[in-house]
Amino acid sequence: MAELLMPKATAVWLVENTALSFEQIAAFCGLHPLEVQAIADGEVATGMQGLDPVANGQLSWAEIERCTKDPKARLEASVRTVEVPEQKRKGPKYTPISKRQDKPDAIAYLLRYHPELSDAQIGKLLGTTKPTIQAVRDKSHWNSSSIRAQHPVQLGLCTMKDMNAALISARAKRPEQVIKSAEEVAAESAAASEGEAAGSESPFADTSVTGGLTFDERSDSDDYESGGRYDR
């Protein structure tokens, strides 16, 4: 079975919308059963928006129902028989006016859950600028109080294919910032929950997600510079 693009977000959706066992979800998403249980308990991936594998063509409802009836069965991913060629656009990435207000939410999601992505990669993927990314990161954005981390694919700001390519490239260049193993995440999440009484932390400084790593300051030459900007 091909590796899922967003296994943790897919697991969140399966936990919230199906009666599959933790073992079945873990096997399909390539996660540890303990991590899936931690997701169900709200200790891991808190606030992460689930990614629907049925809508993405990765899984069918018939397959979910089959495995729900048989706890020993394992989910099998759907096979796409036809690849629809994607139309390529020349010039800078264009974002419809109706979706530009969603960019800060998508930026917040990538900063929180994918610290391996550089600012230049985020800018190219979402069609945004380095100052906007930095403003969301340090909470100086004019609409910071209303920003809610949401998956950029579900917001319609990029395609699954483009995000997959960006993540593969980022993980090859910066493997030290890839999210930690299930056991480490669960352990750090438990420790973090015990210290919540001491005060709240910024949602973008969550060490259970970033592993305590900070973001690099990059030169302007690394930014996405391919023409006009469309974000606000």
Give the up-direction half-sphere exposure of residue 132: CA atoms within 13 A in the CB hemisphere: 25
Give the Cα separation of 93 and 144 in Å (integer): 24
Identify the band that residue 199 occupies on the pLDDT scale cut at 50, 70 and 90. Answer: very low
Helices (H), the chain: 7-17, 22-29, 33-40, 61-69, 97-100, 103-113, 119-126, 130-137, 160-173, 182-194, 207-210
pLDDT of residue 55: 85
What was the pLDDT predicted at 37? 92
Average of pLDDT values for 204-224? 43
Cα 143 from chain centre: 21
pTM to 2 decimals?
0.43
Distances, alpha carbon 174 to alpha carbons 8, 43, 182, 216, 229, in Å? 20, 26, 19, 11, 27
Q: Which tops the pLDDT comparison, 188 or 155? A: 155
Distance CA 145, CA 49 (A): 19
Q: Cβ(50)–Cβ(7) under 8 Å?
A: no
pLDDT per position as a tens digit, 108-167? 999 999 988 999 999 999 989 999 999 999 999 988 899 999 999 988 898 999 999 999
Residue 25 and residue 64: Cα distance in Å, rounded? 10
Residue pair 106/155 in contact (Cβ under 8 Å)? The answer is: yes
The span from the CA of 18 to the CA of 20, in Å, is 6
Banded pLDDT at 181 (limits 50, 70, 90): very low
Q: Is 177 helix (H, G, I), strand (E, B) or coil?
A: helix
Separation in Å, CA 20 to CA 28, 32, 59, 128: 11, 15, 13, 38
Question: Which residue type occupies 216?
Answer: D
Place 213 in a pLDDT band, splitting at 50, 70 and 90.
very low
Furthest CA-CA distance within the chain: 55
pLDDT at 12: 92
User: In the chain, where are the structural domains located?
Assistant: 7-69, 97-179
pLDDT exceeding 90 applies to what percent of the chain? Answer: 35
Q: Among 37-41, 90-94, 167-171, 202-206, which is the least confidently predicted range?
A: 202-206
Three-class secondary structure assignment of 99-116: HHCCHHHHHHHHHHHCCC
